[in-house]
Amino acid sequence: MHQHEKHSCHDKESHQHMEESHQQIAANREASTSSTPVNLADAKEAVADWVELTDDPIDVTKVLSWATREEAGAITSFIGTTRRWWEVRNPETGQVEVKEVARLEYESFRPMAVKYLNELVQSLRSRFGTFGQAPQGKGLCRVAMLHRLGLVPVSEASVVLVISSPHRQEALEACALGIELLKLHVPIWKRERYTDGSCSWKENQAAPPEPVSFNELVHVHSPVSASHSHSSHSSCSHSRPPPPSTDSCCATTKYFPPDVPSDE
């Protein structure tokens, strides 16, 4: 066999292997995007929501364990904690001063806050789907949204958002969007107490004054833009009240899903 004939045979074999490789990649891609059968009984067990306002420390490990399901390939969490140092602008000099934080104090109009949190969770499911109902085996499995009220010392968690889903994209995007809209619109206010005895209320300056509808907001905002935008919708369902002007004390209200027993 001549040298050029050997090269020709080798080129044909390489071309054939390349075509087979491309065919296999295409077949794998088609298989991965095809509808995945889901056992409806398992899906019902995998889907649940946990919304809670509490004056007690949040057990983050317990929340993560609750969100963990064998159907979920991704668990995304956001944990907001009290940090030691905070930048504060002096109203007299206009200069930014660094103050040491002693603790945070959270207050809320509880009935409205719980209503908003539940609406926000359902709106996230409306946008990203629910496992067992969404196509291609997608959607959110478990969604936990907990916020602590009262005194929160340095390094302790004040807000915990945990979302599990079969795939990482919807879990990541839902978690990012959820915490931004919670901070923007849920009637929970933060007061910082500093070690020098002073204090100040902190309210998200991006919060729009007009009523909001979570079901609209989750569909018009991306997770990145949610914290930098103002609502311009008129068909909205409720408005966020202003921060409290005086100290208030309310009894703790807890909301547990059926399979999460109370410690009390």
Concatenate the DSSP letters of all residues of 21-34 into one string: HHHHHHHHHHHHHS
Compute the mean pLDDT over every residue in the chain, rounded to the nearest whole number.
75
- Does 204 map to a domain? yes
Q: Which residue has the higher pLDDT, 39 or 250?
A: 39
- Which of 228, 35, 44, 237 minimizes the C-alpha distance to 123? 237
Residue, of 82 and 219, whose pLDDT is higher: 82
Domain-embedded: residue 24: no
Within a domain: residue 233? no
Decide if pLDDT at 120 tops 60: yes
Asked whether residue 51 carries a pLDDT value surpassing 90, the answer given is yes
| DSSP-H helix ranges across the chain | 3-33, 40-46, 60-67, 110-128, 168-185, 214-220
**Token pair listed for 83:** 């940090």
DSSP β-ladder status, 48-54 and 142-148: parallel
Residue 138 pLDDT greater than 70, yes or no: yes
Residue 139 confidence (pLDDT): 93
Q: How crowded is the C-beta side of 42, counted as CA atoms within 13 Å?
A: 8
Render 75-132 in DSSP notation, one character per residue: EEEEEEE--SEEEEE-TTT--EEEEEEEEEEEEE-HHHHHHHHHHHHHHHHHHH-BTT
Look up the CATH number of the domain holding residue 107: 3.90.1170.40
Q: Is the pLDDT of residue 45 over 70?
A: yes
Q: Please check whether residue 238 lies inside any domain of the structure.
A: no
Phi-psi region of 132 (alpha: psi -120 to 50; beta: other; left: phi over 0): left
Q: How far apart are CA 207 and CA 242, in angstroms?
A: 11
Residue 250: Cβ within 10 Å count:
14
Tally of structural domains, the chain? 1
Question: Does residue 5 lie in a domain region?
Answer: no
Mean pLDDT throughout 147-164? 97
The angle formed by the CA atoms of residues 224, 230 and 236, to the nearest 5 degrees, is 115
Q: Is the pTM of this model over 0.75?
A: no
Query: Looking at the chain, how many residues does it have?
Result: 264
- By residue range, what is the domain housing residue 193? 47-228
Q: Is residue 141 part of a domain?
A: yes
Residue 104 lies in a domain: yes
Task: Give domain status of residue 70, yes or no.
Answer: yes
